[in-house]
Amino acid sequence: MTNELRDVDPRKLIPNPNNPRTSAPDENKDRRFALNIQVVGVLQPPVVREQGDGTLMIVYGHRRVRCAIMAKQKTIQVIVKRGDETLDDLAAGSENMMRADMSLPDQWRYVDRMRREKNLTERQLCKALMVTPAYLKRLSMLAGLHPPILDAIELDCGPAERELRVIARAPADEQRAAWAEVWAETTEDGADPADYRMTKEEGEGFDWWDFAHALEHTQFFARDAAFDDALARKHGIAWEEDLFAEGGQDNRYTVDRERYASAQRAWIETQLGEDDVIITSYENGHPRFEEGMRRLWHGEEGPRAFYLDSRTLKVGYVFFERYTVQSAGNPDEAFSASTPPAPKARADISGTGEKMVGEIRTRALHTALDAACADAEPWDLVGALLLALCGRNVTVQGDRTGGYEVRSARETAAATLFPEGVLVRDPALLRTHTMAVLKSIANCDVSMHSGSGISAQLLGVMFDADARMPNMAFDEFLKTFSKPGITKAVEAEGLPGQATSKLMRAALIAHVGEGRWVPEAVGFAQSTTVWREQLVNAAHASARLPAASDDEGDDLGDEQADAAMEAGDPAIDEDTTSQGSNAACEGAAMEEGETKGGFAVLEERLREEFAATPEGREHFDSHVAFVRAA
């Protein structure tokens, strides 16, 4: 029996109780589909089966029927299926699961072909495809991509949106040349590397950022221009539209640096006052002052110096003043030639005396601190540490809270807590500024110069920063894992390994879902183990130093020991010499008449230095182990 094509009222079709789609439909997508049906109709007839009472039940095509009703279609065509119905449920499921959307390159080619061959207008295409004009513009631009790049996108290995934006703006010949350079050593003899099609495996590791960077042209936007459209036309600037930029702003741009800069300078000339000038800028974009000029940092009085930022070509200006240049001296301290310099008065105390005062003050300060150590108030100690961190001998690399003429968090804390030179003992104020200073100093950046290292991670343990860690199961982070690394991560979650890193990343993200996943090595808790290992390693390194060095107070020197050993004296060997040297050096005796070795003395000294209280020593003993070097 053959199937039958029949016109029916969609409202009379009966839904299939075994419909594999049970989740709620997306109303916005259904509404767009209904509008599309109003324009082009139902392109693929739903499949139905006639029941014993003559009614028609949908086998698959429920969404088409539902949206046809929304589109107020009086009749639609359906295929009435005949014969064995045992495979209906299987057909319904496979029809939904196996159906695939058009790839982006296919969409680009289709829209481009419809415009060229069918002469369809943008309005017609937007209405039929239910897309915005901006989306069509993007498709048209991306249709000009180098064909192998389109193939990479179809393999799902293409560039991200930002890189795609840059590549699409580049001329086709530049794309082709850059592609040929990348694959020159991969292609076989005689093949054109510009036409090389990458494999799925090659695409997964391809650096699209580097490829896009080679094609990137600096863009100068109309929204950053001081000149108007009339000046733009006068200087021959042809604007292009950045179709990928944010909406709600002027996205016109040009890559013609010379014309853009010429128009900016022409606008500046229209703004010059009697004493205003035009100056150049440094490579970092800051204004470059001519000799005899200096910037006024406060107020808005005086002539203006206009300049173009050498990087962005934006117009800037600053107020300045002129001064008379002398043959020698700092321009910032220059005076008019008619003003003689004031005679320099001799200080009451010389520089040598000031140095002596500093040394005496330091000794007195340290003595006072020692005297206060036993009963100092905790809040006084907090305030003292904050004040000490403001010393001129303290530099914090990577502190983002300070800057030119801007107080750092440490300086702000000191000024607030010591307004009259005496500590304000306000616990809330102390807590606030202590935390602000901690934040300005402590960071977990991986940097040799500005990163805090393990100490910042210990602060995270102290204040439970692990509870504040976000879900780390996102693609950008997981891409930093090696294949063995991502394999361990998924297996730790009870998931099986996959053939590729991409599959394992997707499996882990799906497994975590809306939950939270933070690998152990990423959190803060593991830092305590690292810290203890560092302390032990430091103790080992210190322990090796006394054993490797000879002290002046040894009863038996190197020359004597060597002479005795050469003479075959059995009473002296290397071990006893070392032990005697350490014992004499430290000058300490153990109970029962045994001499304490240098290693034991070092243990005790480190213990005393790191832990000054009985509680501290107990904590130190429970966390630190000393091991003799072999």
Cβ-Cβ contacts under 8 Å for 297 (sequence gap 6 or more)? 405
Q: pLDDT of 360-385, one tens digit each?
A: 767 776 777 777 777 777 877 787 78
Q: At what angle do helices 574-586 and 598-610 cross, to 10 degrees?
A: 40
**530 in Cβ contact with 537 (< 8 Å):** no
369 and 432 together in one domain: yes
- Write the single-letter amino acid at 222: A
- Lowest-pLDDT range, 88-97, 254-263, 366-375, 439-448? 88-97
325 and 402 together in one domain: no
**281 in Cβ contact with 308 (< 8 Å):** yes
Question: How far is residue 29's CA from residue 136's CA, in Å, rounded to a whole number?
Answer: 18
Beta strands at 76-81 and 47-50: parallel, antiparallel or unpaired: parallel
Question: How far is residue 333's CA from residue 323's CA, in Å, rounded to a whole number?
Answer: 10
User: 5: which strand partners?
Assistant: 79
* Reported confidence tier of residue 343, pLDDT bands at 50, 70, 90: low
Strands (E) located in 244-300: 252-254, 277-278, 280-281, 287-288, 293-295
DSSP 589: B
Which among 297, 314, 293 is positioned nearest to 305, based on CA atoms?
Answer: 293
499 and 567 together in one domain: no
Phi, psi of 405 (to 5 degrees): 60, 25
Domain total in the chain: 5
Edge-to-edge strand ranges of the sheet holding 277-278 = 277-278, 304-308, 315-322, 293-295
538 and 611 together in one domain: yes
Domain boundary among 501, 522, 543: 522
Which among 136, 199, 200, 146 is positioned nearest to 168, based on CA atoms?
Answer: 146
Q: How many residues does the chain have?
A: 630
From residue 327, alpha-carbon distances to 27, 335, 338 in Å are 80, 11, 14
In-domain check, residue 187: no
Q: pLDDT of 237-249, one tens digit each?
A: 999 887 666 667 8
Question: How far is residue 167's CA from residue 148's CA, in Å, rounded to a whole number?
Answer: 13
3-state DSSP helix/strand/coil % of the chain, to nearest 5: 50, 10, 40
Question: How far is residue 439's CA from residue 408's CA, in Å, rounded to a whole number?
Answer: 11
412 and 484 together in one domain: no
432 and 384 together in one domain: yes
Domain ranges, residue 20: 4-97
Cβ-Cβ contacts under 8 Å for 414 (sequence gap 6 or more)? 386, 387, 390
Domain boundary among 480, 499, 522: 522
92 and 8 together in one domain: yes
Q: Is 322 helix (H, G, I), strand (E, B) or coil?
A: strand
With a pLDDT cut of 70, the percent of the chain lying above it is 74
Q: Is the pTM of this model over 0.85?
A: no
Question: How far is residue 244's CA from residue 164's CA, in Å, rounded to a whole number?
Answer: 10
**175 in Cβ contact with 215 (< 8 Å):** yes
In-domain check, residue 104: no
CATH number at residue 91: 3.90.1530.30
Secondary structure (DSSP) of 49-79: EE-TTS-EEEEE-HHHHHHHHHTT-S-EEEE
Q: pLDDT of 21-57, one tens digit each?
A: 666 777 877 887 888 788 778 878 888 888 888 889 8
Question: How far is residue 293's CA from residue 274's CA, in Å, rounded to a whole number?
Answer: 16
498 and 541 together in one domain: no
In-domain check, residue 240: no
- Lowest-pLDDT range, 121-125, 264-268, 269-273, 314-318? 121-125
In-domain check, residue 181: no
In-domain check, residue 265: no
Q: Higher confidence at residue 88 or residue 533?
A: 533
In-domain check, residue 162: no
* Reported confidence tier of residue 611, pLDDT bands at 50, 70, 90: low
In-domain check, residue 29: yes
Domain boundary among 47, 72, 97: 97
Phi, psi of 628 (to 5 degrees): -70, 140
16 and 89 together in one domain: yes
Instruction: Specify the pLDDT at position 88.
Output: 61
C-alpha 105 chain-centroid distance: 31
Residue 339's CB is within 10 A of a number of other CB atoms, namely 8
511 and 556 together in one domain: no
In angstroms, the first-to-last Cα distance of the chain is 91
In-domain check, residue 364: yes
332 and 355 together in one domain: no
514 and 556 together in one domain: no
Instruction: Specify the pLDDT at position 315.
Output: 92
**542 in Cβ contact with 534 (< 8 Å):** no
Q: Is the confidence at residue 176, as pLDDT, over 80?
A: yes
Instruction: Specify the pLDDT at position 328.
Output: 46
Question: How far is residue 426's CA from residue 417's CA, in Å, rounded to a whole number?
Answer: 8
